[in-house]
Amino acid sequence: MNMSVPKSFTGLLFLLSITVAGSAQKQARLAAFFKRIEKTRQFSGNVLVAENGKVIFKGAYGYADFDTRQPNRINTSFPIASISKTMAATAILQLAEQGKLTVNDPVSRHLAGFPYPDVTIRHLLSHTSGLPPYNAFFKPAFEKDSTRVFTNADFLPAAIAVKPALIYTPGSNGNYDNVNYLVLALIIEKISGKAFRDYIQQHILDPAGMKHTRFIPLSTQFNTDTLRNYAFPYLYRGMFDVSPVKTKSIPYVRDYWRTYAVTGFGEYVSTVEDLLLYDQALYTNRLLRAETLQQSVEPVRLNDGKLHPQLFGLGWEVEADSTHGKAVYHSGAATGLSSVMIHNIDKNLTVILFDNCHYNAHETGDLVMKLLNGDRVERPKYSIARAYGITLQKQGAVAAKKQLQKLMKDTLNYRLSESEINQLGYDFLGTDNPYRLPERHLYAQALETFKLNTELFPNSWNAYDSYGEALLMAGQLDQAEAMYRRSVELNPNSTGGNKALEKILEKKNAKGK
């Protein structure tokens, strides 16, 4: 079955069409859009929009600290996560301009003993190296001592000693992985003779005038209470939760980053205004020559001549939709936060967006670009699934059903989504717990929710499949069989449904014996 939640704004109706009008009109529409997505619980963070390097809109929404109700302000610092990778890429390209390396150099030329002779710096920059995640290199040592802390200094010795197999031949495919930029950080340090953070400070942050950007490793971000003027990442554990959880309070998250204290891919904390300074330093060629920057924003080609599947260049990713000109971006994400920096090269438009409540900053940034380009963007609506789930949990099925019937009539402000209700059912079921929080198995609410989905969407095989799964977990074999049979009728090719029916028949036969 499909447990995924659709994009946050799928099926919305917000006809905000921007013509080629002045900045005032754009500002008014952007202000209305962000006010609405904050109100409908689809955004908490900061945004800045610039045209030709000049700010035309900026705003702060939601809370930097939900626990104390400390609001986000325009100068609030946010973790930029993997946008940090673009700084590492810029550093490598600066060293290339100085003749200290070429992007086609094998990594082993600069890191003695690196055990993958065919992996080049270009492969690292474009995420085409085939290297497995850094956990694979540290696994034997971790299994011997789970209290050990791993840093960048441990990587090369581990690579030489363990040498886990490559995922694919370098350059033959692409997969985004932090390990590539960990290795690039080692190369920067080896060639420059400076600590990674010192190089970035002296050759990127200082020249760009970024006075409010700090190097704070993830191991520190998730394990300290001393950060000030800082937006703490939060997440809503389930769709029926009224309040979010501060991610640094989750033991599994804290322990993970305490163990893997590696850097090079996600350590910087910044403001929207500082990132605009970075953007302008790049596009006015104060950090890289024009031809080098151009090289960094061209999608690389794989060994077979095909473009990188995610359209990665040398540090930047290219938007697939070029209707309104070529746009490049880098997004960032960690538990409870996301960020994005988008630059439309042809129109010289920049969108910088941070979110500290687990929403999708890149998706929101793309909508902002659509607004700026005059495209229709649908009106954000409240989630019926979320409202229903909260009422079901607090007041029971009768009150929730009554509320549902009322909200379904208000199509201007509320959206009904099959997949959101499906996800709500799984949230109640408690089968998905990636952060290893105390388990919650609210089976009665889960069954009520999945049943509702089959009533609202009677022609959806997935709705019956999910309901069948919940009934099976509850030990209601006959009812589960009926739901799975209906699901398979609607989708005879459902491998999961057919296997579930076989499992049910085996259980029934076993009971019969």
Q: What are 208's two structure tokens?
A: 């760009």
CA distances 275 to 4, 55, 60, 239, 346, Å, are 32, 12, 15, 32, 19
Element (H, E) at 181: helix 179-192
Q: 512 pLDDT exceeds 80? A: no
CATH fold for domain 382-512: 1.25.40
Q: Look at residues 351, 359, 302 and name the one whose alpha carbon lies nearest to residue 329.
A: 351
Please write the tens of the pLDDT for every residue from 472-495: 999 999 999 999 999 999 999 999
Task: Say how many C-beta atoms besides its own lie within 10 A of residue 172's C-beta.
Answer: 14
Please write the tens of the pLDDT for every residue from 267-277: 999 999 999 99
**Which superfamily does CATH assign the domain made up of 53-296 to?**
DD-peptidase/beta-lactamase superfamily (3.40.710.10)
pTM: 0.91
Q: Hey, where are the domains in the chain?
A: 53-296, 382-512
Give the pLDDT score at 507.
Answer: 86
pLDDT band at 325 (very low <50, low <70, confident <90, very high): very high
Element (H, E) at 392: helix 384-395
Q: Look at residues 267, 508, 222, 240 and name the one whose alpha carbon lies nearest to residue 392.
A: 240
Please write the tens of the pLDDT for every residue from 225-245: 788 899 999 999 999 999 999
Stretch 418-436: mean pLDDT, rounded?
A: 95
